[in-house]
Structure 1
Amino acid sequence: MSKDKVLLIDGMALLFRGFFATSIYGNFMYNDKGIPTNAVNGFIKYFLNALDTFQPTHVICCWDMGSKTFRTRLYPEYKANRSQPPEELIPQFDMAKEAMDGFEVPNVGVEDFEADDCIGTLANQLAPQSSVYILTGDQDLLQLIDENITIAIMKKGRGNYQLYDETNLFEHKGCTARQMIDMKGLMGDSSDNYPGVKGIGEKTALKLLKEYETIEALLENMNNLSPGLKKKLETGQDMLHLSRQLAEIRIDVPLKYSFEEAIWTAREEKAINSLGNMGIKIPLQDLYSNQETAESG
């Protein structure tokens, strides 16, 4: 009996990518109600391509549930550098979830947590018995790589993916999945707006982890460091620990979902009607012929 293949979708990543792929040219597309649809159009096309590429048996889509989470309570400046979503994108969040409902794909999101945390929790729960593929554009999710967990990073152009797993992560990034959390603790993350240890960048962080492997071992051996580096770590130790806490994707989110409901059995008529009600027309013939091929194989 073949192992289940689960596709976990970072809904936020796909929707933002779908939006900016066309909005940069001022092309928002509108349905007959005057609501922009460009992000959902792009989202669905990325989604269909991923189904064709990875041929999953189960699909789940994860979402943020607002900008306020446990991380913003820990550090109010977390992601405070990011602007509000463009006005044209705001109504498309619910539309994308509605589209997933039409494809009978569960939408998962939990208040106080990010989509990444839901993905991490699901991957951790499902990997022991399934092959898990995570579709995203966010390299923070590389820390989730483990046995049976592969990260598919979306590249420029639809259908281009960089796959990372246990066999190639170190070759590409110079560290293990677990060390990626310690890396962020040391160097911070400017896109998420937390600083790490002042004066330590990627090159130094990699060098330290290569030598000491973990932050704990590094701090136990600070007397072996140069005076300047030792002082940086001593001065920035509180922010080091906080930054690592912000960087670490949670795998204990209290989410509820049904694995049975995640089985990929989308019915063509329901999906077309759902998209049609939103004013979105995307040919689905190829998708369902591929599904029939997978089921007969």
Structure 2
Amino acid sequence: MENNNKTSLLLVDGMALLFRAFFATAVSGQFMINSKGVPTNAIHGFVKHFATAISTFKPTHAAVCWDMGSKTFRTEMFDSYKANRPEAPIELIPQFDLVKEIVEALDVPNIGLPGYEADDCIGTIARTASEVDTVSILTGDKDILQLIDDRVSVVLLQKGYGNYVVHNRETLYAEKGIWPEQMIDLKAFMGDPSDNYPGVRGIGEKTALKLLQDHGNVDGVLANLHQLTKSQRAKIEADMEMLHLSRQLAEIKCDVPVECCIDEALFRIDREKVQAKFSEVELKGLHRLFENDTMYA
């Protein structure tokens, strides 16, 4: 707990942590199957990532956001959205519900809404949680950098545990030369192969960054098409519809009907409840990651 009475909310991108943890061990076939025949490798890694972030950043409050199925308003707008993603590995499927039970045992809210992505829940809560002084978003997904503002920072997971790149407005500008709100326009131009939308064909990150540094945003670029090179102008004019669609797909919605009750998100855990749940799932030794007395009710 911070001593200066400032409140801080850690918003966790549950899917990003769970998938990262799963694939880190799945490559070597270490699924950590418990006596009930349930794999727990992703849950193991999730708990370690979560506990490490709690001890590193010492938030006063925490919540975890989840995707709730693959159909969202974005797939309705563009049916190829994320269509390149393979089905979840069979060993991961039983861990989706079980990890939420673990989060519940830690007395941390699980938040998700069918039709929206975890990012949209994170964005909405980051904007509306006015009772806390600062918000940190823990993820491996750079899409979330667009949510940074004077109160919101993004903690990007790196390889291993406890390795982070923490971005605020100034550090992002220093690295990219654009501000967080321009990240949406960046994706509009360059697209996103991992989400399977193309942006403007033939315009990569370097050109897109230069366009935004010169003209601010998509509208600024379109208002100054006559200043662009003939090649850039031709590419944008040929893909105008996809440019606008890509921008809509890239933008995280910050007004979805979810809320995070701040009182329920106060990070205080019940030692016995945690030990009982971890024993039931056979997460051996992991309760020791939460031995700091300030974490307990």
- Fold conserved between structures, TM > 0.5: yes
Deviates more, 1:221-230 or 1:280-289: 280-289
Mapped partners of 1:290, 1:270: distance in 2: 15
| Deviation for aligned residue 1:127 | 5.4
Mapped partners of 2:289, 2:282: distance in 1: 20
Mapped partners of 2:131, 2:292: distance in 1: 30
Is residue 2:223 matched to residue 1:220?
yes
Of residues 98, 105, 117, the one that matches 2:108 is: 105
Of residues 78, 81, 84, the one that matches 2:81 is: 78
Task: Indicate the residue corresponding to 1:115 in structure 2.
Answer: 118
Q: Secondary structure at the match of 1:284?
A: helix
Distance 1:175 1:160, change over 3 A: same
| Deviation for aligned residue 1:45 | 0.8
| Deviation for aligned residue 1:171 | 0.9
Mapped partners of 2:293, 2:57: distance in 1: 11
Alignment of 1:122-161 (within 5 A): 122-126=125-129, 129-161=132-164
Is residue 2:21 matched to residue 1:21?
no
Mapped partners of 2:30, 2:166: distance in 1: 30
Deviations 1:80-131 (A, max 9, x none): 0110010000000101100000000000000100001100111111257421
| Deviation for aligned residue 1:227 | 2.2
Task: Indicate the residue corresponding to 1:11 in structure 2.
Answer: 14
Structure 1 letter corresponding to 2:133: S
| Deviation for aligned residue 1:290 | 5.1
Q: Secondary structure at the match of 2:291?
A: helix
Task: Indicate the residue corresponding to 1:178 in structure 2.
Answer: 181
Mapped partners of 1:40, 1:286: distance in 2: 14
| Deviation for aligned residue 1:285 | 3.6
Contact kept, 8 Å, 1:8 with 1:133, in 2: the verdict is yes
Contact kept, 8 Å, 1:52 with 1:290, in 2: the verdict is no
Is residue 2:227 matched to residue 1:209?
no
Contact kept, 8 Å, 2:9 with 2:132, in 1: the verdict is no
Mapped partners of 1:176, 1:64: distance in 2: 27
Report the number of matched residues: 294
Contact kept, 8 Å, 2:125 with 2:260, in 1: the verdict is no
Q: Secondary structure at the match of 2:193?
A: coil
Distance 1:221 1:263, change over 3 A: same
Structure 1 letter corresponding to 2:189: L
Q: Secondary structure at the match of 2:170?
A: coil
Mapped partners of 1:258, 1:179: distance in 2: 30
Mapped partners of 2:24, 2:64: distance in 1: 20
Of residues 33, 36, 46, the one that matches 2:36 is: 33
Structure 2 unaligned residues grouped into runs of 5+: none
Moved over 3 A (4+): none
Task: Indicate the residue corresponding to 2:51 in structure 1.
Answer: 48
Task: Indicate the residue corresponding to 1:278 in structure 2.
Answer: 281
Distance 1:128 1:164, change over 3 A: farther
Distance 1:129 1:102, change over 3 A: closer
> What RMSD in Å do the two structures reach over aligned CA positions?
1.5
| Deviation for aligned residue 1:175 | 1.2
Is residue 2:12 matched to residue 1:2?
no
Contact kept, 8 Å, 2:10 with 2:135, in 1: the verdict is yes
Task: Indicate the residue corresponding to 2:203 in structure 1.
Answer: 200
How high is the sequence identity, in percent, across the aligned residues? 49
Mapped partners of 2:26, 2:292: distance in 1: 31
> Normalized against structure 2, the TM-score is what?
0.95
Of residues 253, 258, 261, the one that matches 1:258 is: 261
Deviations 1:159-191 (A, max 9, x none): 101100022111112211011100000010111
Mapped partners of 1:81, 1:283: distance in 2: 35
Mapped partners of 1:282, 1:77: distance in 2: 43
| Deviation for aligned residue 1:55 | 0.6
Q: Secondary structure at the match of 1:48?
A: helix
Mapped partners of 2:210, 2:161: distance in 1: 35
> Normalized against structure 1, the TM-score is what?
0.95
Distance 1:50 1:239, change over 3 A: same
Q: Secondary structure at the match of 1:168?
A: helix
